[in-house]
A and B are shown apart, each in its own frame.
Chain A
Amino acid sequence: MELLSQMMQLLFSGLTLGAIYALIAVGFVVIYNVTGILNFAQGEFAMLGALTCISLVNNNVPLWLAIILSIVIVAAIGGIFERTALHTARKSSVTTLIIITIGVSIVLRGAAILIWGTQVQTLPPFTDNTPITILDAVLLPQNIWAVGISIVILILMMYFFNYTFVGKSLTACVVNPFAARLMGINPEKMSLFAVIVSAGVGALAGTVIAPISGATYDMGMMLGIKAFVAAVIGGLTNAPAAIAGAFLIGILEAFTEGLWSSGLKDVVTFTFLLLILFVKPEGLFAKASGKRV
């Protein structure tokens, strides 16, 4: 019984962590799918979302409005980032663009220090946060929010990429930009659209995690790396697979920490990543298609 409740607890923690990684991993996948680049500023969108939301709440904006506003603001920042940093360099190689995103992430972190300083800030939970006990394991409503939101995003993404015209157009841009252009799709517009969407989803991830762990200017780095690992493990071209990868990483981390040692958490995660890269580099859940890279 005690073992069962411990397992439940670890599972809850793992799902929460996984949900947060998933929201950021989705951003990686969307941008990668459309532009073929890895956006390493993805974690910073979460940081900006969290801190913007906290500032709004501190200025007496209701929490719900603050969350929506911060998503809009960060999506706008994402749009500006795409137009100024990526669009202007669109003729460069993919590697150059990836390096640009790393540069942008450093700029955003620096800006965050100037605006918010280095102190930790916190956001109230979305709803009353009285713990729920299931089999002696504790579950917080905020954790349910985290998991719930990422499942909703998962369903939306699946629908979007497979059943909508815009989603199909986005995919078409990746498969063959030239042919897509012949079909009347504008890849440049799609790239802008993709960055805006993933910035918005990243901001949402930030507002979800802020009540759980607090928010600082440097929170984006670790979240971004873990989400990147999740996306690679799942398969970078496939949003649902990346989300599955994120939950896998979250649960793996929780169980390593709970049953073994917290120091070995990252070791296990990154070893797993290396294994995947050696054995199944196209991702655990991706269909081998050989269509790209």
Chain B
Amino acid sequence: MKKVFLSLFVLMTMLFLAACNSDNASETKETSTEPAKEDSATTEPSGDGEPIKIVGIFSSSGGAAALGEPELETIKMLVEEKNAAGGINGQQIELITYDDKSDQNQAILAMKKALTQDEATVVIGGTISGNALAMLPLAEQYETPYISLAASKQVYVDESGNARKWVFKMPQDDQLAVERILQYLKDKNLTKVAWLNVANSYGTGGHDEFKKYAPEYGIEAVIEDEFEATVNDAKPLLTRVKKENPDAIIVWGTVQESAVVIKNIRELALEAPILASHGIATEQFIEVAGDAANDVILPTGKLLVANSLEDSNPQKDVLVSYSKQYTDKYNKPASTFGTYAADGFNIAVKAIESKGTDRAAIRDFIENELGEYIGVTGIFNITPDNHMGLAPDSFEMVRIQNGEWVLEK
């Protein structure tokens, strides 16, 4: 009996660990070996010469579909618009897109095809960090500019801390969101804070950044702890937070677990302001957390509050027009993920306009000559050392009020 139970226990533990480690493995069970070519040649080559080939690789189905879909739609919309207006320097754009199904293997296959068969001038895509990291060695090998839409800092910085030569990245690093929160706490003079993060790579990554930057902003953590992604009741943990009486509580996680923890904070009637990560900046959080979502403060891209920005904000026009264009075409609200694709495409277009289709020249242009570029995500200052180029101010602090995102002053 002992043996049966022990072996079963071991078996269950193994199953459980396997489920934990293979991050969303269940979402990526795709059997086909060929990446599906969604559509190519949106327009016939016209005018003089070859069309300019831009390849987009997005996770438009599978676990990350909610991210990849707006990216795909955005780039299709912009290519259509650009071609209707005569293309780039009179040359039409041929957009070739692949769906990597949120799977790294599919992403690599698609990237290989893009570089060898399609001979892409520029590749845009890699919706999630795992896929982008899998794709980028090929970009380096085939010396083709690759604009990544995934968040991890490793995407554009290699192991030794140098910029990867052919890779640029559009979304902000998580670190910038941490810094933006610290800046806010400093401005409000909330110096003794509680830090709680979800116990996975997203949470511990945020925690590392917090530990690194908090002293610079004069912020001190009175308690630092973790909660599980499957947390049901965080009240035991929060009783310890309550005892420390912090000025503010930072809850660093994604939608489900943050909603549970924040609900519990409200139930225990802790008065301290709650700050959350940019990972919960979706309508879904408001739905799941209900009333508890009120007065939660978080950093987010400017798109959610585009209309409330001051007119003097240089990004306001870009944001409002992107949002309107997307909503008019697809009849649904624009998403922050789409803005990454918009910036990636626009930067590529600018480079091709100025340098033609020579890959090395395009790369050099983005790195050295682009200068200050006002994008939808933020204001980019790409340099040879920084292939992302955004600053913490590309995040705005917003407060949730009655289900609306309100710009926090």
**A121 in the interface, Cβ–Cβ < 8 Å?**
yes
Question: Do A258 and B237 form a contact, CB below 8 Å, given A120-B255, A122-B288, A281-B1?
Answer: yes
**A148 in the interface, Cβ–Cβ < 8 Å?**
no
- Nearest Cβ on chain B to A273's Cβ, whole angstroms: 7
Inter-chain contact A17/B16, CB cutoff 8 Å: no
Residue of B nearest to A281 (CB): B2
Question: Do A281 and B5 form a contact, CB below 8 Å, given A102-B15, A118-B27, A120-B255?
Answer: yes
**A257 in the interface, Cβ–Cβ < 8 Å?**
yes
A-B contact pairs, 29 of them (CB 8 A): A6-B239, A9-B236, A9-B239, A10-B235, A16-B233, A17-B232, A40-B12, A113-B26, A118-B63, A120-B256, A120-B284, A121-B288, A122-B287, A122-B288, A138-B235, A213-B233, A214-B256, A218-B19, A218-B26, A222-B16, A228-B12, A254-B233, A256-B236, A257-B236, A258-B237, A259-B240, A263-B226, A278-B2, A282-B1
Interface string of A215-245 (1 = CB under 8 A from B): 0101101100100100010000000000000
How many angstroms between the C-alpha atoms of A227 and B279 in the bound complex? 31
- Nearest Cβ on chain B to A230's Cβ, whole angstroms: 13
Which residues of A lie under 8 Å from residue B228 when comparing CB positions?
262, 265
Which residues of B lie under 8 Å from residue A76 when comparing CB positions?
none
Which residues of A lie under 8 Å from residue B41 when comparing CB positions?
none
Q: Which residues of B contact A (CB under 8 A)?
A: 1-2, 4-6, 8-9, 12-13, 15-16, 19, 24, 26-27, 29, 63, 199, 225-228, 230-237, 239-240, 242-243, 255-256, 259-260, 267-269, 284, 287-288, 290
Dominant SS among interface residues on chain A: helix
Inter-chain contact B269/A131, CB cutoff 8 Å: yes
Question: Do A212 and B232 form a contact, CB below 8 Å, given A6-B239, A138-B269, A261-B225?
Answer: yes
Which residues of B lie under 8 Å from residue A225 when comparing CB positions?
12, 16
Residue of B nearest to A229 (CB): B9
Which residues of A lie under 8 Å from residue B24 when comparing CB positions?
118
- Nearest Cβ on chain B to A209's Cβ, whole angstroms: 7
Residue of B nearest to A112 (CB): B26
- Nearest Cβ on chain B to A226's Cβ, whole angstroms: 10
Which residues of B lie under 8 Å from residue A259 when comparing CB positions?
240
Which residues of B lie under 8 Å from residue A16 when comparing CB positions?
232-233
Inter-chain contact B19/A293, CB cutoff 8 Å: no
Nearest first, the 7 A-B pairs at minimum CB distance are A258-B236, A257-B236, A120-B256, A213-B232, A281-B2, A254-B236, A13-B235
Residue of A nearest to B260 (CB): A213
- Nearest Cβ on chain B to A263's Cβ, whole angstroms: 5
Question: Do A221 and B268 form a contact, CB below 8 Å, given A13-B236, A213-B233, A213-B260?
Answer: no
Which residues of B lie under 8 Å from residue A121 when comparing CB positions?
288
Inter-chain contact B8/A38, CB cutoff 8 Å: yes
In this complex, which of A6, A109, A214, A270 has the most chain B Cβ atoms within 10 angstroms of its Cβ?
A214
Which residues of B lie under 8 Å from residue A256 when comparing CB positions?
236
Which residues of B lie under 8 Å from residue A228 when comparing CB positions?
12
- Nearest Cβ on chain A to B353's Cβ, whole angstroms: 40
How many angstroms between the C-alpha atoms of A213 and B229 in the bound complex? 11
**A255 in the interface, Cβ–Cβ < 8 Å?**
yes
- Nearest Cβ on chain B to A285's Cβ, whole angstroms: 16
**A128 in the interface, Cβ–Cβ < 8 Å?**
no
Inter-chain contact A258/B232, CB cutoff 8 Å: no
Which residues of A lie under 8 Å from residue B230 when comparing CB positions?
213, 219, 222
Inter-chain contact A216/B256, CB cutoff 8 Å: yes
**A193 in the interface, Cβ–Cβ < 8 Å?**
no
Inter-chain contact B290/A122, CB cutoff 8 Å: yes
Question: Do A2 and B243 form a contact, CB below 8 Å, given A13-B235, A121-B288, A228-B12?
Answer: yes
- Nearest Cβ on chain B to A204's Cβ, whole angstroms: 16
Which residues of B lie under 8 Å from residue A254 when comparing CB positions?
233, 235-236
Residue of B nearest to A217 (CB): B26
- Nearest Cβ on chain A to B252's Cβ, whole angstroms: 14
How many angstroms between the C-alpha atoms of A238 and B384 in the bound complex? 68
A138 interface neighbour in B240, B260, B268, B290, Cβ under 8 Å = B268
Which residues of A lie under 8 Å from residue B225 when comparing CB positions?
261-263
Which residues of A lie under 8 Å from residue B287 when comparing CB positions?
122
Instruction: Kindly identify, within residues 253 to 285 of chain A, every residue whose CB is under 8 Å from any CB belonging to chain B.
Output: 253-259, 261-263, 265, 270, 273-274, 277-278, 281-282
Instruction: Kindly identify, within residues 89 to 107 of chain A, every residue whose CB is under 8 Å from any CB belonging to chain B.
Output: 98, 102
**A119 in the interface, Cβ–Cβ < 8 Å?**
yes
In this complex, which of A140, A213, A218, A254 has the most chain B Cβ atoms within 10 angstroms of its Cβ?
A213
Question: Do A255 and B236 form a contact, CB below 8 Å, given A222-B230, A281-B5?
Answer: yes
- Nearest Cβ on chain B to A205's Cβ, whole angstroms: 12
Which residues of B lie under 8 Å from residue A219 when comparing CB positions?
230
Residue of A nearest to B254 (CB): A120
| Given A9-B239, A232-B9, A262-B234; 6 other pairs, CB 8 A cutoff | A109-B26, A120-B288, A257-B236, A258-B237, A262-B237, A265-B228
Inter-chain contact B232/A110, CB cutoff 8 Å: no
Instruction: Kindly identify, within residues 39 to 56 of chain A, every residue whose CB is under 8 Å from any CB belonging to chain B.
Output: 40
Residue of B nearest to A262 (CB): B237
**A20 in the interface, Cβ–Cβ < 8 Å?**
yes
How many angstroms between the C-alpha atoms of A20 and B226 in the bound complex? 22
Inter-chain contact B236/A214, CB cutoff 8 Å: no
Which residues of A lie under 8 Å from residue B227 when comparing CB positions?
262
